Amino acid sequence: MSEILQNLSNDLAETVATAGPAVVRVEARDRLPASGIAWSADGVVVTAHHVVERDDNINIGLADGRTIPAALVGRDPTTDLAVLRAETSGLSAPAWDGGDDLRVGHLVLALGRPGNNVRATMGIVGALGKSWRTPSGGTLDRYLQTDLVMYPGFSGGPLVGADGRVLGLNTSALLRGVSLTVPFGTLRRVVEALLAHGRISRSYLGVGSQPTRLPEGLVEQLGQETGLLLVSVEPGSPAEEGKLYLGDTIVALDGQPVRHLDDLLSNLGSDRIGNTVPVRIVRGGQVQEVDVTLREHP
């Protein structure tokens, strides 16, 4: 038994040594630095959006001890990803893995570099699922949850499989109290879009809203207790062109219930740009539907 444990211990240490050089320190907020992953040798780094609290005066710390300036290329709050670029070469990009063979119960490591040295914590894959829409409307290619303890400064660092290949980027910000990993497929899609355009295209309505409780009669009719009361409608927006008015209450979009703002945002992805969708509203105490053609968010 002691030999088995020793071999496992050595293998884990070797895994950290293999993936560690790709983990960088990200200094983009006033408190504790966070972590990032070298995406390519020419200075591109991917990290978590929520740890990049400023758009300039950003530095990254490398495995060789150097600290160099970096610029923000773009960010996608809906998947909690941001891309930085440093004027350097020779970054150690990791070997990536789509995780097709990953199963619940597999051992995984989370790596971080909030200080000068790489740090690690171990856990297991706690849950796997299919494509998942985040509360703010982004789409992850798969749902990947671990039981890892996300220590301060670990967000933006990699999730590493037992073979040393990187499965994705860890974040503690997509779901409160849950350690999630943005999988490699999503990383590649978002990073390539940010490098090409500096932003992620999204559809929008052009309204300001607040949750409101529905009258008892409508609660029974609609099967929900709340909707979104429109407190503003932008001139020239899809909402105005679709005849949505101040005082309307949105209760569904394209057949999906809208109870809170997150419900609305989660249904305004890039895949709906140009689509005409039915919006169910309450107007004057009556349930109605209007068709709105969604456009790209300006």
77-117 per-position pLDDT tens digit: 989 999 999 989 889 999 999 999 999 999 999 999 999 99
Residue 137 has pLDDT above 80, yes or no: no
> Any idea which residues carry the catalytic annotation?
50, 80, 155
Location of structure tokens 């970096």 = 70
The whole-chain average pLDDT of the chain stands at: 93
pLDDT of residue 208: 94
Could you give the CA distance from residue 256 to residue 268 in angstroms, rounded to a whole number? 11
* Span 250-293, pLDDT tens digits: 999 999 999 988 888 878 877 788 999 999 999 999 999 999 99
85: which residues sit within 8 A by CB, 6+ positions away?
43, 44, 45, 70, 71, 73
pLDDT at site 112: 98
pLDDT value of position 8: 86
Tell me, what amino acid is at 55? D
Q: Give the per-residue pLDDT at 267.
A: 83
Burial of 35 (0-12, 13-18, 19+ CB in 10 A): buried
136 has pLDDT over 90: no
pLDDT digits (tens, 9 = 90+) for 144-194: 999 999 999 999 999 999 889 999 999 999 998 899 999 999 999 999 999
What gap in Å lies between CA 23 and CA 26, rounded to an integer? 10
Is pLDDT at 122 greater than 80 in this prediction?
A: yes
Class for the domain spanning 203-296: mainly beta
Is the domain spanning 1-200 CATH 3.40.50.720? The answer is no
Whether the CB-CB separation of 150 and 126 falls below 8 Å is answered with: no
Confidence of residue 298 (pLDDT cuts 50, 70, 90): confident
Q: E-assigned strands of 80-202? A: 81-86, 107-112, 119-129, 132-133, 139-140, 143-146, 158-160, 166-171, 179-183
Q: Check residue 18 and give its pLDDT.
A: 94
What percent of the chain clears pLDDT 90, i.e. is strictly above it?
80
Q: What are 20-55's pLDDT values in tens digits?
A: 999 999 999 998 999 999 999 999 999 999 999 999
Q: Which two tokens stand for residue 218?
A: 């409508």
Boundaries of every domain in the chain: 1-200, 203-296
